[in-house]
Structure 1
Amino acid sequence: MENIILKQKQVGILLALRDTSQSWYISSLAKATNTTYVHTCNFLAVCERLGITSSEKHGKLKLIKLTEKGLRLADMVININTIITPEQQKQPEQPK
């Protein structure tokens, strides 16, 4: 599903982090969201600077969590996605 308002990979990472039933590390997030490790790492660095995520070092690994601000943002993303149905998200075809 193509999302013209929000980028699918970034949204996937935020929504995965919303699931607190497991511990999230950069590599597990990348695998769960079908993104590269580098893309996930870069996006999380921006999120941490913006106060959306926090990280905790556990040896070589970094445990990633949503902050309160990040949790509110993830909830807003869910609300936006429920308002925009998949049919409405499709871009009109460009004339050839």
Structure 2
Amino acid sequence: MIIIQNNELPKQMMTDFFAKHWGTPEMVISSGIFRCNELDGYAAVDESGEIIGCITYVIDGKDCEIISLDSIIEKKGFGTALLQQVEETAK
């Protein structure tokens, strides 16, 4: 597994990922409506280049809000690794 920025992947790949796992790239949460395929974030990809995890976030001043977090394979630490990457970015 490697972690890369979402914008290093084809946008259609991110759009398809969100459509498959969420039904749409649009996320409605208490702080607003977001298009996850257009947000900053990171993807965990396997050796074949397939997305096995993804996190998106918004930084506003000193605040960092996670908008989405997906880990396709559970209990392998992919979600934790993605969260840690965003924590480092937010610092």
Q: Does the alignment reach a TM-score above 0.5?
A: no
Q: Which has the higher helix share?
A: 1
Greater Rg over alpha carbons, structure: 1
Q: Larger relative CO (CA 8 A, sep 6+): 1 or 2?
A: 1
